[in-house]
Amino acid sequence: MGRLRGVAGRLRALLGTARRRVDPALRTLTPAGRGVLALTVVAWILGWRLGWDEMTLLAATGLVLLAICALFMIGRTNLEVRVAVEPPRVSVGESVAGSLSVVNKARTPALPFVLELPVGEGGVAFSYPLMRPGGTQEEIFVVPTEKRGVIDVGPATSVRGDPVGLFRRDLGWSDVSEIFVHPRIVPLEPLGTGLMRDLEGVTSNNVSMSDLAFHALREYTPGDDLRHVHWRSSARHGKLLVRQFLDTRRSHLTIVVDSRPGSYRSDDDYETAVSVAGSLLVRALLDEYDASFASGRHAASKVVGKAVLDACARAEPSPETLVSVAREANRLAPDTSFAVLVSGPFTDFVELQRAAGQFGIDVAKAAVRVDHELTPAVRTAGDLPLLTLGRLEELAPLLHWGIG
């Protein structure tokens, strides 16, 4: 029994080794290759069991065809592939050029192969002839940027196969690069929320004992920090006086864009809504505000520099309600001081008010409705200014009139 168990163990080990060696080869078979292999096996069984010479000939033909095609897969591919795209950030419609550099790092010539490079929803393919060791070849391609969004470039994948298409081996050689296609924006005047700045931000009416905005002097009470005693005034009045300050806070603009396709008359109106958000966010950064953005499943808090438009580029239509997105935006940016809601004509005013209500009562709020069929207008219902526009160019005058 012990000898039988030993033989069985060795047999399992051999089968495992054989399977590990055969599996990579079987994975290179295409659906057509698997069909030819299956037909060859069936024809050989029929020819052997029934004595059909025709089946035996068919099996031999299939075997020879598989063997010849398998010869094209012999050898290892060792490439160095570099993908570069410039610039990595553009506005809608601007051109982006990419380069694909391939070096054969193997000691033997590389057999002809195809290099596939996914670009967004499409891709490009380059055919390479026999490449000598150390050989280099460079290709140029253009990335389409007609639509706002994030375009994934890569990974570059080499494709080795035979002329008949029975075998195929794909190998990835590069990482995925991102190209940010930013929304179109327009220049805006400073937002001017009517609040006065100091060294660190914007002053409020909240009294504090430790800040940068000096407010007044008051009589010392036990527990006050002696560092805030104003000694000259204390000597003049004959009693201890301490400095009193106002709390300061940095203005924080949060933009919430309705992502539901049913809220807009067209896809172009949604793109205009994102452009409105991008224009306001860029102006906020120029005014040294903090800036946050939320639309659908994507949200970014306190983005700075180019990342503010990167956040807009990632926005996509999704079914989340404006109220739920505003609630998430308030969670991510609880220190928001100015909130702007952007939506389409099919979002009723009550929902806009409910979304605005997700922010605190001390937060200034405004709404923008994008509708290319209506004329520009500004109105206020309750405490929520509502700006209506159809084109991005109408934002600057409306903004100055409505909340400037």
Mean pLDDT of 86-94: 90
Per-residue model confidence as pLDDT tens digits over 117-135: 999 888 888 988 888 988 8
Per-residue model confidence as pLDDT tens digits over 21-56: 555 566 778 888 889 889 998 988 888 888 888 888
Return the CATH number of the domain spanning residue range 252-402. 3.40.50.410
Is pLDDT of 17 > 80? no
Say how many C-beta atoms besides its own lie within 10 A of residue 303's C-beta.
18
Helix (H, G, I), strand (E, B) or coil at 266: coil
What tokens appear for 287 in the block? 């005014």
Per-residue model confidence as pLDDT tens digits over 290-315: 999 999 999 999 888 888 899 999 99
What does the DSSP 8-state code read for residue 29?
B
Is pLDDT of 275 > 60? yes
Q: Which of 207 and 266 is assigned the larger pLDDT?
A: 266
For position 215, what pLDDT does the model report?
A: 45
Does the reported pTM lie above 0.75?
Answer: no
Question: Residue 195: pLDDT band by 50, 70, 90 thresholds?
Answer: very low
3 state SS for 244-306: EEEEEECCEEEEEECCCHHHCCCHHHHHHHHHHHHHHHHHHHHCCCEEEEEECCEEECCCCCC
Round to whole Å and give the CA distance between 147 and 178. Answer: 14
Same fold, 79-182 and 252-402: no
| CATH superfamily for domain 79-182 | Immunoglobulins (2.60.40.10)
Give the start-to-end residue ranges of the domains of the chain: 20-73, 79-182, 202-249, 252-402
Spatial contact of 312 and 271, defined as CB atoms under 8 Å apart: no
What tokens appear for 342 in the block? 């952007």
For position 397, what pLDDT does the model report?
A: 85
Mean pLDDT of 140-157: 90
